[in-house]
Amino acid sequence: MPSLTVHPTTRLIVWLLLVLAVQCLSGTALIAAFLLLPLFGTRVVQRGGGLIWRARWLLVSLLVIFSWGVAGEPLWNGAIAPTQEGLLEALNHLGRLLLVLMAVAAFLEAMPLPDLLAATHALLKPLRRFGFDTDRGVVRLMLVLRYVESLPRPRDWRALLNAPASSASELVEVSHQPMRWLDYIVTLSSAGAIMLFCFS
């Protein structure tokens, strides 16, 4: 009897659809989504916190740009006061970006690297008709994920010059398994539910 586990590509597609759905959240729905984050576990929250810390200057920049760049009523009387509308817009965008970073952390925590490589390879396969090398793309993804997780944060750029070179003879194996009827049902159901949520 075949198992009811879904294909790694299906999990990747559903995750991408959820990331798109996050962009439809605002106000109370956005706050409710944050309240559900502890349900993903301590490891996901800690990993997401690390990603958020690395993106802190981007988050600060977004807050400044929207708070002072959107026209509206000033938050207080003064020449350098941000606008109420700008601050609300900034909080919405920051909340969505924070949720996306937490979704990335949850995805990387739950998806083993071999499954992620297999899913990415299958998802990019149609691009071969346009000259895209999917094998090279998967290897580059693996290297990026490895360096993001393991590369230290040097305080001096000269420390990067002393980093050991990566092995050129490393073998990368990508599993190929066909998608089944359950994968198509899950993908189409998820896409339909998210479209109803965003456009209703």
Cβ-proximal residues to 151 (8 Å cutoff; 6+ apart), any chain: 163
Q: Tell me: the pLDDT tens digits for 65-84?
A: 999 988 888 888 877 889 99
Q: How far apart are CA 4 and CA 166, in angstroms?
A: 38
Q: What is the mean pLDDT of the chain?
A: 81
Q: Cα 86 from chain centroid?
A: 25
Q: Tell me: the pLDDT tens digits for 114-171?
A: 888 888 888 888 878 888 777 777 777 777 766 655 555 555 545 555 555 555 555 5
Q: Taking residues 26-42, report their average pLDDT.
A: 90
